[in-house]
Amino acid sequence: MDARTRILARVQRALRGRPKALLPEHPHTPLAEDPVDLLLRRLRENGAEAQRLPREEAKAFAQRLAEGLPGAAFGKTLPQDLRPPLPELPPEEAPLGVSWALFAVAETGSVALSSEDGRKAQLLPPTHLVLVEAKRVYGTLLEALQDLNELPAALGLHSGPSKSADIGQVMVKGVHGPGRLVVVVLE
């Protein structure tokens, strides 16, 4: 008998004749305020920079953020017109990573990044610019998770800059991931 058989047999023996607990339903608690407003507020509370901009202004914003940089790493699903006009650098060397988020969640202040967009650009550069469409902003995490039909190989929820308080309880940013997270919601 292998480990699998033995473990499952022991679980079945343990549960024989035991009362079974019921699985509760998910509650329905819709948001009282505009999800984009809440998203921006929560992202800022989490230590990120966040704004809502029309597409044209978002382009100009991304260009300003990229000014003077030697290059950037780009997400694969980022629309061409939103790319700052910079040479593309490998994420290991790029001072800036620009990603296209699959969706965002207002109540937790999070952007969701798919492995289809590429993970290195989301993690290696010290500054991370994330663009997300206003229509992809969910009020609650439950709504977002229930709406996902197909899951990518990996989904990362990012809710602020990388941080740690492991050294003497002092908060330090940019420990391994980006120390600066900038989110733009496209109207």
Contact 162, 179 (CB under 8 A): yes
Does 118 bind other proteins (CB under 8 A)? Our answer is yes
DSSP 93-118: T-SEEEEE-SEEETTTTEEEEEGGG-
Does 75 bind other proteins (CB under 8 A)? Our answer is no
DSSP 16-39: TTPPPPPPPPPP----SS-HHHHH
- Cβ at position 67, least distance to other proteins in Å: 25
Binding window for other proteins (CB under 8 A); candidates: 51-59, 64-72, 94-102, 113-121: 113-121
Residues near 57 by beta carbon (within 8 Å), at least 6 away in sequence: none
DSSP state of 88: B
Does 163 bind other proteins (CB under 8 A)? Our answer is yes
Binding window for other proteins (CB under 8 A); candidates: 33-41, 54-62, 96-104, 105-113: 105-113
| Interacting residue ranges for other proteins, rule: CB under 8 A | 2-4, 6-8, 10-15, 18-24, 26-27, 42, 46, 92, 107-110, 115-116, 118-120, 122-123, 140-142, 144-146, 148, 151-170, 172, 174-178
